Chains A and B, each alone.
Chain A
Amino acid sequence: MSRAATSEKFDDNARRALADPALQGALAFVEANFPARRRAVVDALPEFDALRDSARDIKAHTLAHLDLYLEAWEARVKEQGGHVHYAPTAADANRIVLDICRAENARTVTKGKSMVGEEIGINEHLEQHGIVPVETDLGEYIIQIRDELPSHIIMPAVHLNRQQIAADFRRVHTDLPKDRDLDTAMALLSEARTTLRKKFLAADVGITGANFLIAETGSSVIVTNEGNGDLTCTLPRVHIVLASIEKLVPTMEDMAQLLRVLARSATAQEMSVYTTITTGPRRGEDQDGPDQYHVVIVDNGRSAMLAGEFRDMLRCIRCGACMNHCPVYHAVGGHAYGFVYPGPMGAVLTPSLLGVDRAGRLPNASTFCGRCEEVCPVRIPLPRLMRFWRDREFSRQLSSPVSRAGLAAWGFFARRPWLYGAVTGIGVRALAWVGRARGKFGWLPLAGGFTATRDIAAPQGPTFQAQWRRRAGTQGVAEHARTVPSGNPHGRGSEPQLTEPAASDPESRP
């Protein structure tokens, strides 16, 4: 069972988000800050684009040999005294973590930020069985006390302002004086730091994610800025790492390449504050560190993605640059996507995890402007992968009858170019004649969604295609017209294979 999702309600979620002034204020911050900051740090490194190629190639190479790198990594972990567990589904992963906690009679668990932990809903599972999980990343802690999903994979609480956070702290930290000052971000941080420091020292088990697993050394790597991840994996008796299969890299050198593009793309830093390479449990002479080191390898639908076009998506290093640059994310924020992965990467990944029948609206929520692909540090062709999902949604007849009818009508004409040209020519002339007085329309049939918020200009002159033909005739650019791609430029042969969950309930799988 993956975490509860509302992706099928994307349209309603988006409408609500657009009408939420606090959220819109927070999102304006994202749009105003991140692209410029990333630009500056990227411009300061002339090798950045070469590093992106290197990062893409490392991930592609590892995925093509994933079984062998996983074997090599596992052997190293065992040599170093660590334990490796395999979880084909989210339910398996939750059960494994609970079993480890129970064997240690664990009462409280501290958590470093883990997207796969969010994906499988590990917190809910532990709570249901009487174990208290405490998120320690400041953003994750805030959304945990609000019982929300993260709205961004790097900054989980980016949708909130500090007044909202202060109200939550007053509600939850009831042992503190009521008249305390929580007006500044600094005051909020101090309160969280003091509260969580006690939790760190008391926890029996620490759970972190992993940014990378290194096959060469049998290590897991976490990248953080706060230091909470390191306290989580150092202080408790047991450290559990939740890592999905695509986190593997071959060597330390490969990790170094990926670190350069990760920090710059995620937070516009040259290097995150803490990158920690963890290898096995506490050694004989160590005075700190956990006695047990466990890694839970989570599949949850990913191995099937290796087979087709969606293998490209498994290169993702979870930097969040795609959402930071996405006009749709800027407009509706992360919660509208209805699952733990928002933005363009979520629009591609979520249908793979939940099924296109549930998450098919997400790949439709794109303008195909291409900025996500432009900034992706591992060069994932996100718009192309979203188009594959749209195609699948259409061919499985999952889209609405109205949009199917509309597309069918358009398709009828598009397949008959002479008819298309004739009909649009008549239409354009008719619209131009009707609108000749005002030069614009405040309302048009079938275009109510557009004209609700702005006028539509009356056409002037002939259609684009007619103008193009005329230019071609006079300037000799006819050849170019044939190279304009239409539909899927990669042809039917490059269609993705089915990578949705086979059963709607993954728990029923063997």
Chain B
Amino acid sequence: MSARDQIFGSIRRALAVTGEEASRKKIVADRIADHPRGVIPARGQLPDAERLALLVGKIEAAAGSVVRLATIEEVPAAVADYLRTDGLPLAARRGADARLAALPWEREPALAVTVGASSGDDLVGLSHATAAVAETGTLVLLSGPDNPTTLNFLPDHHLVVVAAATVVGDLETALARLREERGAGGTPPSGLPRAVHLITGPSRTADIEQTLILGAHGPRRLHVMLVGGPA
């Protein structure tokens, strides 16, 4: 008997089922197809302006920083500002994301922006989030050539662009939109990307005497550029 049969056999013996019951199969198929929502906290269910304000407050509460920008064209200047303020070299690395590629980088000629995944030598990574969740100040980033995963974790500073129109009240809504756009299964490119990253603040640890320190293995700073939306 294979190890797989052994485990399934043991589970089914313990549950006193065969695995062939039509009623059980229907319950499981329906649950996956309907993916019912559970309890959604009222906290995030807000009109646009308040929802954005909640997002900003929650990112800051998680030790991230936020700057509001009227248009995405302001991103290059905002990146340069961040680097100058922190006394960092004027360099950043980003993925192939078309929204970032189309930016007027020429307005910041001193800023060197390279493209591609990180091999660990970059001080600053720049990403575009696919969504953000106001309830907890969480950014949703997708792996892939547009925003490679390594940019989220290897650089000391992670700068993330979030479009106000993609800010949702709760995590369930963000996940449902992913499902609408890509499906939740099947053969790639259908289904989820290799990795969906839900990021809430910069890396941290409290493993030494329960003292909270930022920048454990991932970025020491998380800086969000929130673009557009009601002021």
Task: Identify the interface centre among B17, B40, B185, B189: most chain A CB within 10 Å of its CB.
Answer: B185
Instruction: Give which listed residue, B38, B145, B193, B210, contacts A29 with CB less than 8 A.
Output: B210
Q: Is the CB of B42 within 8 A of A46?
A: yes
Q: Report if A367 contacts B (CB, 8 A).
A: no
CB-defined contacts of B82 to chain A, threshold 8 Å: none
Q: Report if A250 contacts B (CB, 8 A).
A: yes
Q: Write the A183-220 contact mask toward B (1 if CB under 8 angstroms, else 0).
A: 00110110001001100110000000000000111110
Q: Is the CB of A303 within 8 A of B11?
A: yes
Rounded to whole Å, the gap between the CB of B54 and the closest CB of chain A is 12
Q: Report if B27 contacts A (CB, 8 A).
A: yes
Instruction: Give which listed residue, B37, B148, B178, B185, contacts A218 with CB less than 8 A.
Output: B185
Chain A's interface size range is 35 or more
A219-B192, A306-B11 given; A226·B198 CB < 8 A = no
Q: Is the CB of A252 within 8 A of B218?
A: no
Q: Report if B32 contacts A (CB, 8 A).
A: yes
CB-defined contacts of A79 to chain B, threshold 8 Å: 185-187, 191
A138-B208, A276-B198, A283-B194 given; A88·B12 CB < 8 A = no
Q: Is the CB of A306 within 8 A of B217?
A: no
Total inter-chain residue pairs, C-beta < 8 Å: 293
Q: Is the CB of B196 within 8 A of A303?
A: no
Instruction: Give which listed residue, A81, A297, A305, contacts B188 with CB less than 8 A.
Output: A81
Give the A-binding residues of B (Cβ under 8 A): 1-4, 6-8, 10-17, 19, 24-25, 27-28, 31-32, 35-43, 58, 62, 95, 116-120, 135-138, 143-145, 148-150, 152-154, 170-172, 175-176, 178-179, 184-189, 191-211, 213, 215-219
Mind listing 9 A-B residue pairs with CB under 8 Å? A51-B38, A66-B11, A157-B207, A226-B218, A251-B35, A252-B179, A273-B204, A287-B150, A307-B13
Task: Given contacts A253-B172, A287-B117, list 7 more A-B pairs with CB under 8 A.
Answer: A86-B4, A197-B217, A253-B175, A273-B204, A275-B138, A288-B118, A306-B14
Give the B-binding residues of A (Cβ under 8 A): 26, 29-30, 33, 45-47, 50-51, 54, 58, 61, 64-72, 76, 79-81, 85-88, 92, 136-139, 142, 155-158, 161-162, 165, 185-186, 188-189, 193, 196-197, 200-201, 215-219, 225-228, 230-231, 233-235, 245, 250-254, 256-257, 259-260, 267, 269-289, 297, 299, 303-307, 510
